Structure 1
Amino acid sequence: MKQNIAIIMGGYSAEVHISLKSGNVVYTHLNKEKYTPFRVHILQDKWVALDESNVEYPIDKNDFSFILNGQKILFDCVFNAIHGNPGENGAILAYLNMIGLKHTSANWYQMALTFNKRDTLSVVKEYGIPTAISFYLNKGNTIDIDGIVAKVGLPCFVKPNNAGSSFGISKVHTIEELVPAIEYAYEQDSEILIESFLEGREVSVGVIEYQNTIKVMPITEIISENDFFDYEAKYEGKSKEITPAQLPSELQDKIETIAKKVYQVLNMSGFSRSEFILVKGVPHFLEMNTVPYLTENSILPQQAACSGISLAELFDNAIQSALN
């Protein structure tokens, strides 16, 4: 008997439309002979399952079921394709855990931890993993411009602490740009992370559970046409993504080792994609994405293809790992 799979997509953040694209790619490529997949839109105003004709059916939040043609549909597993809140920050996963429904992501606490950039950096630093110098602000704090610049220098990056897709991020070159950048970041989040600029090549490394082992995917080098890897660079073709990255074997081994270590010290499972800047041959960790973008041209699917793993195999493995 085929298993019912809910592919949750959408969410409550600015990444809703990107999530819908990722979720539809999973729906398209999932093996229909093995599974009966349903797209489930998790939106601010509704939770609904869609049939093949895009007719919507309300989700019963008591057990995450819905009624189709008079029959109650229950799910065997949930495939999490929600970027941001409530999928990537663990909120909906805590709910799924409470009702006993398996899902493809890590435990809700690990998801919440890794979605919080400041907390993630605090953990990895304890394990000797190099990072940028950082300064933290909460909305309402006094903004000590001189103190910030003295600690992180210029240029620097101002980021919302809990946001993705580069929303709210600015690269600040002068003191005069700092306060507007902070105000811009506060539009996305009440917590701010300000980091020193790291000069070097940027790489992205997928680390996943594959066939019951931790697998480090081929490394991707990111070369942005813009000042940094911003929204345009990520989604509008303003960057080159070279997979596999052309790196000396010794440096490649170093990056793979530290990427796997980050995955392990954060107690991760399921999908992840971590970003690093290579400063004089030393990988500096930036952040981890635990619901990476899953469109055909996105970085993790590129890395899977380079490894000889099709999208159908990638998604099937995630579901089987969750079920087992």
Structure 2
Amino acid sequence: MTTKIALITGGYTGEAEVSFKSSDFVYSQLDKNKYDVYLITITKENWYHVTDAGIKIPVRKDDFTLEIDGHIIKFDLAFILIHGSPGEDGRLQGYFDMIDLPYTTCNALTSALTMNKGYTKALLQDISSLHHSNSVMLREFDRENAKQVVEQKLKLPYFVKPNAGGSSIGMTKVKEASELQDALDKAYDAENTGKQVLVEEFIVGREFSQGIFRNSAGELIVLPATEVKTTREFFDFEAKYIPGLTEEITPADLTDEQKERSVRVLKEIYLRLDCKGMVRVDYFLESETGNMYFIEINTVPGQTAQSFIPQQVRAYGMTETGFYGELIEASLRFK
């Protein structure tokens, strides 16, 4: 019998449109001789699968099964491709833990922690060779005085972003004090991000994104890095998803020392946070010092043909089909 995979897409935030593109690509790459794949869409209103005949079948939430033509479809694994809530913040992971269904991502605790950028930085503070920009984390009750708090503790320019968001939604680079309040409001009001804001001092340097995963043999594999060069003010939502605004160089032009350092640091981050499956770490190499500055970790990174992870998989010498198969087999083995 083939392994039954629930390929889960959609979500509750503005990142849903990216999730649909990721799931379309992954579906096209999965080996259908080994895996019986069902695309499951999750929205706030419905959880469902659409059959080849165009019939919408609701997911039975008590055990995450489908009933199609009188047959019950029970899944062996959930392949989670929801960027943002509820697929990247631990909510789905907690549900799957309760019904004993393995999944491809980090566990519920790690997923929840890493969606909180401030908490993540706190956990990674003492990793050798990893630096962190000065920052302030603001909660909802700080909102009235947020501007004054930032101006007292940080120096311009700033990055202002939702503390639990993704795809740079709600993010602003602030170069002048007059821009700060609008940026704070934008971050606070970003949909389904928890009403928390992270403000960080800007680091001048080269920006990189790099994937790491555990394969079916249990080995940690660090993929080649991608350097990001954008014509935008920073790597915002438009720069990420509109062709022509960003140059992505994979593999990045790094010295042997920089490559060795990034591999060592990424493995420590993965282990420190108890990650599973594939994750992607974004970081700067500061121009003046060459120091490595942590930006964020993505536990459900984008998977379109042009996304960083597929680029890096190809640069590593794997096919996407082989890579996704490794993720599935590792998730089943180390559940």
Cα deviation 1:78-104 (Å, max 9, x = unaligned): 101010000000101100010000111
After superposing the two structures, state which structure 1 stretch, 142-151 or 75-84, moved more: 142-151
Secondary structure at the residue paired with 2:145? coil
Aligned length: 324
How much identity, in percent, do the aligned residues show? 35
Task: Determine the C-alpha separation between the residues in 2 that align with 1:275 and 1:121.
Answer: 13
Identify which range, 223-232 or 49-58, moves more after superposition.
49-58
Partner Cα distance (1:44, 1:54) in 2:
21
How does the TM-score come out when normalised to structure 2?
Answer: 0.94
Give the SS at the match of 2:278.
coil
Please give the residue correspondences for 1:245-264 in structure 2 after superposition, counting only pairs within 5 Å.
245-264=252-271
* Distance of 1:50 and 1:24 partners within structure 2: 14
1:143-292 matches, within 5 Å, as 143=145, 145-188=147-190, 189=193, 190-211=195-216, 212-237=218-243, 238-279=245-286, 280-292=289-301
**Contact preservation (8 Å) 1:217, 1:307:** yes
Distance 2:7 2:146 in 1: 45
Q: What secondary structure is seen at the aligned counterpart in 1 of 2:133?
A: coil
Deviation at 1:146, TM superposition (A): 4.6
Contact kept in structure 1, 2:138 and 2:146, CA below 8 Å: no
Q: Conserved in 1, the CA contact under 8 Å of 2:159 and 2:202? A: yes
Cα offsets for 1:51-100 (capped at 9, x unmatched): 23442100000110011111011001110101000000010110001000
Check 1:74–1:172 CA distance in 2 against 1; reply closer, same or farther (3 A cut).
same
2:127 and 2:265 in contact (8 A); partners too: no
Instruction: Tell me which amino acid in the other structure corresponds to 2:221.
Output: K
Q: Is the 8 A contact 1:39 1:51 kept in 2?
A: no
State the distance in 2 between where 1:55 and 1:28 align: 21
Match of 2:140 in 1: 139
Match of 1:300 in 2: 309
TM-score (norm 1): 0.97
Partner of 2:22: 22
| 1:125 positional shift | 0.7
Mapped pair 1:315 → 2:324: yes
The letter for the 1-side match of 2:170 is G
SS at match of 1:272: strand
Structure 1's unaligned 5+ residue stretches are: none
Equivalent AA in structure 2 for residue 209 of structure 1? R
The residue type paired with residue 219 of structure 1 is A
8 Å CA contact 2:41, 2:49 repeated in 1: yes
Shift of 1:252: 1.7
> What code does the residue aligned with 2:237 have?
Y
- Could you tell me whether the CA contact under 8 Å between 1:145 and 1:175 is conserved in 2? no
What is the 5 A alignment of 1:61-100?
61-100=61-100
Specify the code of the residue in structure 2 equivalent to 1:139: E
Instruction: State the Cα deviation string for residues 221-248 of structure 1 (Å, max 9, x = none).
Output: 0001101000111000211110000111
Letter in 1 for 2:108: W
Distance in structure 1 (CA, Å) of the matches to 2:267 and 2:259: 12
Q: CA RMSD in A?
A: 1.2
Separation in structure 1 between the aligned mates of residue 156 and residue 118 of structure 2, nearest angstrom: 20
The one-letter code of the counterpart of 1:196 is E
Taking structure 1 as reference, are residues 146 and 67 closer, same or farther at Cα in structure 2, changes over 3 Å only?
closer
Please give the per-residue CA displacement for 1:131-176, whole angstroms capped at 9, x wherever unaligned.
1110111123142535423422111100101111100000000111
SS of residue paired to 2:102: coil
Structure 1 residue 187: deviation in Å? 1.2
Kindly provide the amino acid, as one letter, of the partner of residue 4 in structure 1.
K
One-letter identity of the residue aligned with 1:160:
P
